[in-house]
Structure 1
Amino acid sequence: GELVVNGEKAGRLEKVEMGLWMSRASIKRAIVSGNYTSQRPQSFVPRGSVYHNPHAFL
């Protein structure tokens, strides 16, 4: 189905914004729940000042 925002078919920007919102919500849930596990095997853990919680990205 189509993504609908305020009764109208969502445009490209709205779809991108919704995807970003869903990603941020997933990251917040992982942080709050302490669930830092991935569904796939991962040997690389991102590091650096940009990653406040690198395990949330696995």
Structure 2
Amino acid sequence: MSLFSKFRSAINKLQRKAINKTFQKRLTNQGMSVISANCVGAFILHDLNQPFNSPFVN
């Protein structure tokens, strides 16, 4: 992995943490269920630090 790739990855992680914190603060519906056709719904719940209440996870 090149130095540029490591630097870009580190910046991406910092930006993602900041964006997730912003969305967590804006979230008003706690404990929701998400129905998704793929695993993106689980990633969204994980990023928002919400429990997996959906019967279709995994």
Q: TM-score range by the shorter chain?
A: 0.3 to 0.5
More strand by share: 1
Q: TM-score, normalised by structure 2?
A: 0.45
Q: TM-score, normalised by structure 1?
A: 0.45
Which one has more relative contact order, counting CA pairs under 8 Å at least 6 apart? 2
